[in-house]
Structure 1
């Protein structure tokens, strides 16, 4: 697994952990106002997913489709689709060493050319920034514990899952 795979997989794993935590909250907690960023847990999650969806579509040369499902199950489905699309584009860019190749962001006025490498890096770091806001909001909501969300936690979880799979595989042998 290379660095790109690690960053993408950590990004989606951590975002999914936060979606899972948020799925245990009431509607009032999800929509409670914080004087920070997009102001609510739900709006922040939607913003993160919306950016993944729109930028991935634009990098693929497609017209972005506005996704309005802000239910927790709907946002988990949206994350699955956005993650798959982003990983596919990022892997294609990496395999062809096209990090500096340009695509046109037609939503900018006027349209602007952007590099694939910077756009992919932006999506990953953008989500990291908003996950920090989500962690703050969750703490303020009284959720404990909240995940660390760092790459080492992700790696430890992946190693534990692989170990469990190996144990399960041996039990069928």
Structure 2
């Protein structure tokens, strides 16, 4: 397997594993507010998956649609469906950028109003989107711990390989 694709495979596996841990939670638990990250499990998963989708567009050069405020309460199954779609899109973009040897190409997207645009390599963006997921999964781990949910999964890349045999 191409080393550059492992973070994408791991990212979706680890996110789905945490979603699966959330299946037995009540709606109240899934939406309980915490003073961390996006505030609750539901919103943190929506954020992780939404970021995967938006970064796929950024990396491929597709203009981003305006961000809509969405207060839809999604089920774990809904979120798994969103994860599948975002994964297909993001991995497709990553494979194309790698195949076209464009990882060292500079990309740009608008900065905050009145600020210059952000400029960086596509490779950095590809790494960012997967480490972004890891950062928020650590917050989810903490939220689940505060709910008293026993977790036996570290969710690291070694576990990904051992559990999936995808390598």
- Alignment TM class, shorter chain as reference: 0.7 to 0.9
Matched, 1:129 2:135: yes
Structure 1, gaps ≥5 residues long = 163-173
Taking the aligned partners of 2:118 and 2:151, their CA distance within structure 1 comes to: 42
User: How much has 1:73 moved relative to structure 2?
Assistant: 1.9
Aligned to 1:40: 40
Aligned to 1:103: 107
Matched, 1:85 2:74: no
SS of the residue aligned with 2:151?
coil
User: How much has 1:61 moved relative to structure 2?
Assistant: 2.8
Aligned to 1:113: 119
Distance change (3 Å), C-alpha of 1:92 and 1:52:
same
Structure 2, gaps ≥5 residues long = none
- The answer to whether the 8 Å contact 2:94/2:126 transfers is yes
Indicate the structure whose relative CO is greater, using CA pairs within 8 Å and at least 6 residues apart.
Answer: 2
Aligned residues: 161
User: How much has 1:83 moved relative to structure 2?
Assistant: 0.8
Matched, 1:58 2:64: no
User: How much has 1:146 moved relative to structure 2?
Assistant: 4.0
Which residue of 78, 87, 92 corresponds with 1:74? Answer: 78
- The answer to whether the 8 Å contact 1:135/1:146 transfers is no
Aligned to 1:167: none
CA RMSD of aligned residues (A): 2.2
Aligned to 1:149: 155
Distance change (3 Å), C-alpha of 1:18 and 1:83:
same
- The answer to whether the 8 Å contact 1:139/1:146 transfers is no
Q: Which has the larger radius of gyration?
A: 1
User: How much has 1:108 moved relative to structure 2?
Assistant: 4.6
Taking the aligned partners of 2:161 and 2:92, their CA distance within structure 1 comes to: 21
User: How much has 1:27 moved relative to structure 2?
Assistant: 1.1
- The answer to whether the 8 Å contact 1:30/1:42 transfers is yes
Aligned to 2:15: 15
- The answer to whether the 8 Å contact 1:56/1:89 transfers is yes
Deviates more, 1:55-64 or 1:82-91: 55-64
